Structure 1
Amino acid sequence: MRARMSKPKVPGIETFSGPAGGWPALGAVARVLKDQMAVGREAAALRKVNQPAGFDCPGCAWPDPAHTSSFEFCENGAKAVAWEATGKRATPALFADHTVSQLWEWTDHALEDAGRLTEPMAYDAGSDRYLAIGWDEAFRRIGEALRALPSPDMAEFYTSGRTSNEAAFLYQLMVREFGTNNFPDCSNLCHEATSVALPQSIGVGKGTVTLDDFALCDALFSFGHNPGTNHPRMLSTLRELSLRGVPIIAVNPLRERGLERFASPQHPSDMLGGQGTPIAQTYHQVRIGGDVAFLKGMMKWLLANNALDHAFIAEHTTGIEALCADLDATPWSAIEAESGLPRADIEAAAQVYARAERVIVCYGMGMTQHRFGTRNVHQMANLLLLRGNIGKPGAGIAPIRGHSNVQGDRTVGITEKPTQALADAIKRRYGFEFPVTHGHDAVAAVQAIRDGRSKALVCLGGNLAVALSDPQATFAAMRKLDLAVHVATKLNRSHLITAKQSFLLPCLGRTEVDLKAGGPQFVTVEDSMSMVHASQGGLKPASPRLKSEPAIVAGIARALLPDSQVDWDHLVADYDRIRDGIEAVFPIFKDFNQRVRQPGGFRLYVGASVRDWGGPGARARFIVSPGLNEDLRVQGDGVLTLTTVRSHDQYNTTIYGYSDRYRGVEGRRDVVFVNADDLRERGLAPGDRIDIVSCLPPNEAGGVREVRGFTAVAYELPRGSAAMYFPEGNALVSLDCHDAASGTPGYKSIPVRIRAAVDG
C-alpha cells in the first residue's frame, strides 16, 4: 500500500490502508444510527430503502438492480436515511431559545443536526426569530408578496434534485402560469454541462446505458468521479466487472479509494480477507483540468493507428474531418504538458480502448464543474463515437448524477429554456399560455438578485446560498430580497439569510407516509440511467403539521393564482392525476400510471441508445474544441489549480460529520491537499497553517478572494494541483467564473496561490 501522508505528524491526519466499504463502513452506519437516536425508526426505514414496495434512497441517483435485496443501500445512503428519519426535532422552542443571529454562528453540521423542522415558521425582524405561523396564513402572505412584484420575472424559483417528479411538475406549472421561466436548479451547479453538450453531440442530454450494459462491456473508463463516497452502490457493479476481468481505467487527479479496492459487505470473502477486490486496472492521475488533453491524446493514437469504426462513422456521424484536422494539429508535447502524463501512458489507455468491442465511459462532476465543462463532455462523446461505442449493448456514455432526482425534475419541465412544444402541450392540457422566453439559471438568478432585478426567491428544497459560488456576493445579495421561501425538512444556512419576509415550510421526507383522503400516495423519481420508479415512504411523519411537497406547491399556487385554470386541490388529492398530467404534457411518459406500478418501473426512451440521433436524418456530431483548455488556465509563477471535493461524511452541502475516512482525515475539514514537492517549493511543510488566495478577479467589494488559516496536508496529487473541501472553497470562485455554455460554476479548476498564514 502506497503511503499517502508525509511526516511530520499532522493532527487529525492518518494513513488509511484499508479498502472502500468493509467493516469501517458498517461501523459508520452503526454510529450514525446511534447518534440520531431513533434506531427503531431508522432500522424500519433501511429495510424499505430501494425496495419495490419501499422508497428511493435520497442519497444518490445510482439505479437499482432488477432484483433488489435487503442490503441494497450503502454507507452514505444509510447516513442520508438516518439524517432524515432522525428522532431529533427543530421545534418552535429551538427558535424561541435562539435568535437567527445566534444560529448563524452554528456550524453547518450543527444546524442540520438540530433535527427535523416541525412547524411552518415566519421570520420576525423585531425579535430576530422565526415564529410559528399557520399554513393558510403563510400561503396568503407568500401569494400576496409574489403578486406585488412589478413583474413575475422578478421572482426566482429554485428546485433541489431531491424533489419528486410530481412536485417538480406542479411547481413548473405554477411558475409558468404565474408568468416566468426563472428556474434556477441544482443541475445548474453539477451536470448542466451534460445537459448542454450531449444534445449537441448525440441528440439527447442523458446517458445512453442501462445497468444491464455494465454486464456486457469489455472495458470501462472512469473520468472525474469518486464512487466510493458519492455513489457507493456503484462499487458493487465495478467489483463485478473487475472479477470478470474487464479493464477499468481510472482518470482522476486524486487517487480515490473506491476506485482502487472495495470490500463488499454482501460478500463474506471480501469482509474476511480484509483487502477487498481490486477495482481499477490502471490509475492515471491527470493534472486538474488536463482531461481534454488526455482524451485528445487517446483519439490522436486511434487516428494514427487507424483504430476507427469507419462504417459507423460514415453512417451515423458528421464532422469527422474537422476533428481529425484538430487532432493532427495538436502536438504530443502540448498534450503531455497539459495532461501532466507521459505519452506512453496515454497511448496505453488508447490501446485498451481499441482492443475492446464494447466500452462504457462514466464521468462525474470532476468533468462538468469547470469553465470548460461542456468541452470535456464533447470530447468524451467524440472518443466513444470514433469506435461506434454509443447505441449498442454494453457500450455508451454514463454521466453519474448526484441528487436522486436531479435528472427527473428536468424531464418533467424544470428548465429555464422552455420550448414551444412545451408551451403548446401545457396550453392543450391546462388552458393557459406562457411566454417562451429564456429565464434564469442559478448563477443568473443570483446576479439578478444582486443587481436588484429580482426581489423574491422560492426554494423547493436545497441550500442554494451555500451551494453556489462566491458566498460573499451571494449572501449579500440574498439579504436584499423582499421575499424568501424555503421548503425543507431541516434547517440550513440559507434559511438564516433573511429577507423582508422569510418563511420556512416543513415538508415530509421521502421515508414518511404521505396520506391523502384517497389513501397513501407514492411519488416517482428518475435515476441516472433514465429508469423511472415509484417511491413510497412508510414511517410516521416527524410532525403532524408537515405537508408533502406537492401539497405545499398547491397551497402556494392557490394563494398566488386566485383565477388559476388549474384545479390544484383535485391534483394533490390523488397523485395519479398529476402523473396523468405529466403524461399529457410529455408523451415520453405514455401509460405512466400503469408502467410505474410494474416492479422496478420503466425506462424512458433515450434515442441515442438505439442510434436515433434526434429524429429522421439526424446524425451524431463530432464537436471540435480547439486547443487543450489552456486558454482558460491562469498561468504564472506559483499558481496551483485547485479543485473542491466532497468528504466521505458529506452529501453536497449536508455535513454528516467530520470524517473523511478514505483520505485519512478525522475530526476536521480545515485542510488543503497539496503535492509534497509543491509545498517544499514554497517553503511550506505538512501541518503548516496556510492562506489560499484566488487568482481570479477581485470580489464584489474590490478585495482579494481568499480563505485563511487552513492546514496543509501533503497528498498524492499531480504537481501543480491542489484540493480542498466544498463548500469551504467556494469563496475562491467568483460568480463570473463559470462555463459560458452551461453556466456551471468552475469549482473544479480554481487558480490559486498558497502562502504561510497571515494572522489577523
Structure 2
Amino acid sequence: MADLHRRDQHADTATEPEDRAASVVDPTGAVDAHDPKQWAAGLPAVANSFRHGIEQMGLPRTARVFGRLNQDQGFDCPSCAWPDPEADHRHVAEFCESGAKAVAWEATKRRVDREFFAKHSVADLDEQSEWWLGQQGRLTEPMHLRAGGTHYEPVSWDEANAIMAGHLRGLPSPDDAVFYTSGRTSNEAAFLYQLMVRAYGTNNLPDCSNMCHESSGTAMSEQIGIGKGAVTLESLERAELIVIAGQNPGTNAPRMLTHLERAKQNGAVIVAVNPLPEAGLIRFKNPQTPRGLVGPGTALADDHLQIRLGGDHALFRAVGHLLVQAELAAPGSVVDRAFVEAHTAGYDDYVEAVREIDWDATELATGLQRVEIEALAKRFTDSSATVVCWAMGLTQHVHAVMTIQEIVNVLLLQGNIGKDGAGPCPVRGHSNVQGDRTMGIWEQMPQPFLDALGSEFGFTPPTKHGVDATATVQRLRDKSVRVFFGMGGNFAMATPDTPVVHAGLRACDLTVHVSTKLNRSHTVTGTEALILPCLGRTDRDATARGDQGVTVEDSQGQVHLSQGRLEPPSQDCRSEVAIVAGLAHHLVPGVGTVDWRGLADDNDRIRDHISRVVPHFGDYNDRVREPGGFLLPHKPRDRREFDTPSGKAEFLAGSVPPLELPEGRLLLQTIRSHDQFNTTVYGHADRYRGISGNRRVVLVNPDDLHRLGFHAGQVVDVVSEFEGVDRRAEGFTLVAYPTAADCAAAYYPETNVLMSADHVALRSNTPVAKALVVRFEAR
C-alpha cells in the first residue's frame, strides 16, 4: 500500500522564489476570425501545453509537475472530472492541454502579496479583466477589507476566524448565511465543510453542480434511482454506438478523445449531435501516438447532426417513436423484451405516448430532416451496446430534465443499462463536483445521511431544505443574504443576472472567499470582505501528522488519492480542511463531539468519519490506498437494480413542447473558449474555432446574418428577452460561423448578464444558459 505520509525523494523541497505579481498586459484587441479547424490536439496541443507551463512555472518545475499529473502517487488534475485509466495503463503524459493550462495556472511561480494589495485598491482591481486578475499569481496570506476601507490589508488567521465567527454568530438566523462550494474541493474538505455548516444550523449549501449537471441527477434519479452515470471508462471503449449530444470534448474533456479513438478502433460508430461542428469530434490527432503527431489522426464522428438549440427533446422522442414502430412491425426485433419486462415499469404508457408524432413539428424543432432522424434510429437498431454521452449542451435548457429522460427511455428500450458497452454517460465538468455531492454538499440531503451525520458527531442536523445556487441569486436580489462564504469558485461571475448578483454581494455584511488566485468575486465585496489563501492540488500539505493527501471522485464514480508535492506559495497558505476546521473551532466549538483541532491536520481521521457516515465508503483509508483507488457501486450498472418507488427503471414520457422563435430573433447558447475553464480565462485564443484577440464575439450562421440585416465584423449589443424584461450585453462583434440555422453562440461569463435567475430548468432549477431568445441591436 502507498503511504500518504512518506516524503517523496523527488519532491520540490527547495523553497520556490516568492516572485512579485508579474507585469502582464491584457491581450484583448480586435477580433481575428478564421475558418474553424477540422481536427484537434496533435503537436499544437503539446506545444501549447508546455508553453503555458514554462511561462508560469519555468522548465524544470514544468517537467516535475507534468510528470506527476494524474499519476498513481501523484496529484489529480484540478480541471475536468474525466476518469483516469487503470494505474498500470496510464501514459507517461496522462494529461491534456486543458489540464496542463489548469495546472500551470495553479502552480505558477507568480505571487500576490501584501505589497500588491497596498498598490491596488479594490476599485482598481475591479476595473481589470478576468484574465488579468488570474495572471497576477498565487495568493499568499489572509487579507481583510475593513468596513469603509479601499484596500485589502493583511490579517492573521486568528483574526480572520474571529471576524467570520462574530458575523455568523450575530445573525438573526443561520439561514441568513450562504455557503457556496466549488467542484474542486476535495472529499475531505467538502465533508468537513458541510459538517460545519450543519452544525452551525443551516442547509444553505449551494454548489456549482446546481448550475451544470443538476438536471442529469434529477432526471436519472427519477428513472433509475441514482443520479450518476452508468458507464465505466473500459465499458465506453467497448460500445458499438456512442452518441455525443451537447458536448465538446475537444475543449472541455480532451482526454475523452483518446478513449473515443480506442472505441472507434474497436469498431464503434460515433454520432455527434450539436449545433456547432466541433473539431475534436471531426478528427483527433492523438499526441501520444506517431499517427497523431505526424499522421492523419483518426476520424471520430461518423455522423454530425447539426441540431437546432433546444431540439434534443424532440429528437430523442422521435428516435423512441421509430424504435417502437419498428418493434411493433416486427416484434422482438428491436426492443429487449426480456429486460423491459423484468426490469422496467411504464413501458405500455411510453409506447402509447410515442406511438404517433408530428413530423412537421419535429423537423421544425430539431432543424433536421426526417431522413436524418431515421438514420440515427437505424444506428440504434443496429447496435447491441449503446452509450449516450451529454454535458451542459443538454442540461441547461428549460426542458433539460425531460430531454435527458427521453434519452434514458431510448436506452431502456434496448436494455442499454447494466451491460457492457452501454448506458447513460453524463460527462461532469469539474474535477470533484460529483464527489462533493457524495460528501453531503447539497441543500436537500436525504434524511438517512443527516441521521448518520448526527449519530456520528452527537448533534441534530437541520432538516429544512436550504437554498441552491439559483435561489441564492434570488435572495441576493432581495438583499436577504447577510454573509456569503465561497469555498473556491467565482460565484460573482458563474451565475445568471450578473448585475443583480454583484449588487446583492455588495449588500452583504461580509463576503468570504477561500481561493488560490484572484478573481472577480474578490472585487465585488460586502461591507467587509476576507480572502483566505488555500493550498492547491499541486501543493504539499505538511502537517504535524505528516504529508496529507486528499481524495476525489471522478465522473464515473472512481475514488482515488491526490497528493501535491510543491512547496506552498507561503507558510500562510492553509489547506481547505485546515481553513474549515479553524473557523469551525471558533464558530461551533460546543456543537456535538467534533474534534475540530484534531481533524485539521489529519485527513485519515476525516476519512474514518466518512466511512461511518457516507454509504459505500467503509474501510475508506485502506481501499483508497490501493492503486487507482476504488469504484463506487452503482446498482443499475452492476446488478440491474433500481432504487425507484417501483423498484424498476421507469419509462417517463411527458409532452414535447413546441419551440417558438419570434421573428427577427435567434436562439443563443453560452459556450467555453478553448482558452478557458469555467470562469477562468487562460488566454484569448479559441484555436479550434479560429477566433482570437477578443472574447466579446457572437457566432452566427451566415444566412441568419444576411436575413437579419447584419454583417460579419459588425459590433452590436446582444439583448435577451425573458418575460418582458430585456437584458443587455454590450459591444459584441458578429462572426460568421457554420452553426445551425436560427442559432448563435457566445462565451460565458461575459454573456451571463443575459441570463435570468427566474429562467430555470423545470424540476432541477438549473439556470437556463441555452436557447436564450436574443436580438441584435446595432451600435
1:657 aligns with 2:668: no
Residue 42 of structure 1 contacts residue 86 of structure 1 at CA under 8 Å; is this kept in 2? no
Query: 1:673-700 CA distances to partner (integer Å, 9 max, x unpaired)?
Result: 001010001111111112211111355x
2:543 to 516, 534, 538: 516
Equivalence for 2:302: 281
- Partner SS state of residue 605, structure 1: coil
The residue identity in structure 2 corresponding to 1:551 is: A
Deviation for aligned residue 1:664: 0.2
1:560-579 aligned within 5 A:
560-565=587-592, 566-579=594-607
The residue aligned with 1:4 is none
What CA distance in whole angstroms lies between the structure 2 residues aligned with 1:747 and 1:251?
18
Among 402, 406, 409, the residue aligned to 2:433: 406
Shift of residue 16, structure 1, vs aligned partner: 4.1
| Aligned residues: CA RMSD | 1.3
Q: How many pairs were matched up?
A: 740
2:459 corresponds to 1:432:
yes
Aligned residue runs from structure 1 range 610-621, under 5 A: 610-614=639-643, 618-621=647-650
CA–CA distance in structure 1, aligned partners of residues 603 and 579 of structure 2: 14
**AA in 2 matched with 1:292:** H
Matches within 5 A, 1:1-40: 11-40=31-60
* Equivalence for 1:396: 423
Contact 1:682 1:755 in 2 (8 A): no
Question: 1:480 — aligned with what?
Answer: 507
Report what 2:741 is aligned to: 719
CA distance in 2, matches of 1:660, 1:350: 34
Give 1:411 deviation, angstroms: 0.3
Distance 2:558 2:37 in 1: 36
What is the aligned partner in structure 1 of residue 618 from structure 2?
590
Q: State the Cα distance separating 1:438 from its structure 2 match.
A: 1.1
Q: Cα gap change, 1:430/1:11 in structure 2, threshold over 3 Å: closer, same or farther?
A: closer
Query: Quick one: which amino acid aligns to residue 447 of structure 1?
Result: Q
Residue 449 of structure 1, CA deviation: 2.5
- Segments of 5+ residues of structure 1 without an aligned counterpart are 1-9
Alignment-mate amino acid for residue 662 of structure 1: Y
Does the Cα contact within 8 Å between 1:59 and 1:76 map onto a contact in 2? yes
SS in 2 for 1:587: coil
Match of 2:665 among 622, 625, 639: 639
Residue 43 (str. 1) matches residue 70 (str. 2): no
Distance between the aligned counterparts of 1:64 and 1:310, measured in 2? 35
* Residue 634 of structure 1, CA deviation: 5.0
Cα deviation, 1:278-331, whole Å, max 9, x if unaligned, reads: 010111010011001111111111011102112211111111222222212421
Matches within 5 A, 1:144-155: 144-155=166-177
Amino acid of the residue matched to residue 198 of structure 2? R
Q: 1:163 and 2:185 equivalent? A: yes
- For the 8 Å contact 2:126–2:523, the answer to whether it is kept is yes
**1:125 deviation in Å?**
4.2
Provide closer, same or farther for how the CA distance between residues 615 and 372 of structure 1 changes in structure 2, counting only shifts above 3 A. closer
Q: Which residue of 1 aligns with 2:197?
A: 175
Map of 1:55-454 to 2, 5 A cutoff?
55-66=75-86, 67-273=89-295, 275-306=296-327, 307-454=334-481
In structure 2, what residue type is equivalent to 1:448?
R
Q: Where in structure 2 are the equivalents of 1:550-561 lying within 5 Å?
A: 550-561=577-588
Q: Which residue does 2:3 correspond to in 1? A: none
Aligned residue runs from structure 1 range 487-566, under 5 A:
487-565=514-592, 566=594
Amino acid at match of 2:609: G
Once residues 759 and 617 of structure 2 are traced to their aligned partners in structure 1, the CA distance between those partners, rounded to angstroms, is 37
Alpha-carbon distance, 1:454 to partner: 2.2
Secondary structure (helix, strand or coil) at the match of 1:728 reads coil
1:41–1:539 contact (8 Å) kept in structure 2: no
| Cα distance in structure 2, aligned partners of 1:590 and 1:70 | 32
| Contact 1:634–1:751 (8 Å) recurs in 2 | no
Please list the CA deviations of residues 707-729 of structure 1 after superposition, one character each: whole Å capped at 9, or x if unmatched.
Answer: 12211111111111100001111
- Amino acid aligned to 1:303: V
* SS in structure 2 of the partner of residue 643 of structure 1: strand
Q: Give the drift of 1:740.
A: 2.9
Structure 2 contact 229–424 (Cα < 8 Å) conserved: yes
Residues 318-350 of structure 1, C-alpha deviations (whole Å, 9 max, x = no match): 112222222124211111110000011011011
Shift of 1:18: 5.0
Aligned to 1:608: 636
What displacement does 1:435 show? 2.1
**For residues 511-536 of structure 1, what are the alpha-carbon distances to aligned partners after superposition, in whole Å with 9 as ceiling and x for unaligned?**
01011111101000000000000000
Q: Give, in whole Å, the separation in 1 of the partners of 2:31 and 2:569.
A: 39
- TM superposition score normalised by structure 2: 0.93
Q: CA deviation at 1:579?
A: 0.5
CA contact (8 A) 2:345 2:646 kept: no
State the secondary structure of the residue aligned to 1:695.
strand
- SS of the counterpart of 1:129? coil
Listed one character per residue, the Cα deviations across residues 250-272 of structure 1 (whole Å, up to 9, x for unaligned) are 11110010111110111012211
2-structure distance, mates of 1:267, 1:522: 32
Is 1:741 equivalent to 2:760 in the alignment?
Answer: no
Query: How does 1:674-689 map onto structure 2 within 5 Å?
Result: 674-689=700-715
Give how far 1:617 is off: 6.0
- C-alpha contact (below 8 Å) 2:273/2:306 kept by paired residues: yes
The aligned amino acid for 2:306 is Q
Letter in 2 for 1:579: R
AA of the residue aligned to 1:119: E
Letter in 2 for 1:294: L
Q: Relative to 1, partners in 2 of residues 1:474 and 1:544: Cα closer, same or farther, differing over 3 Å? A: same
Q: Deviations over 1:565-613 (max 9, x none)?
A: 2111112221111011111111311111110000000011111112110
2: CA distance, partners of 1:624 / 1:537: 47
Q: Distance in 2 between matches of 1:616 and 1:155?
A: 35
Which residue of the other structure, out of 668, 676, 682, is the alignment partner of 2:694? 668
C-alpha separation between the residues in 1 aligned to 2:94 and 2:427?
Answer: 18
Structure 1 runs of 4+ aligned residues shifted over 6 Å read none
CA distance in 2, matches of 1:95, 1:238: 47
Distance of 2:645 and 2:759 partners within structure 1:
38
Mapped partners of 1:407, 1:184: distance in 2: 14
SS of the residue 1:157 aligns to: strand
Other structure's SS at 1:705 match: strand
Partner amino acid, structure 2, of 1:746: V
Q: Secondary structure at the match of 2:152?
A: strand
Taking the aligned partners of 2:710 and 2:175, their CA distance within structure 1 comes to 50
CA distance in 1, matches of 2:239, 2:518: 44
Aligned to 1:7: none
TM-score, length of structure 1 as denominator length? 0.96
Please name the residue that 1:468 is paired with.
495
**Cα offset, 1:216, TM superposition:** 1.9
Query: 2:652: which partner in 1?
Result: 623
- Separation in 2 of the partners of 1:43 and 1:369? 38
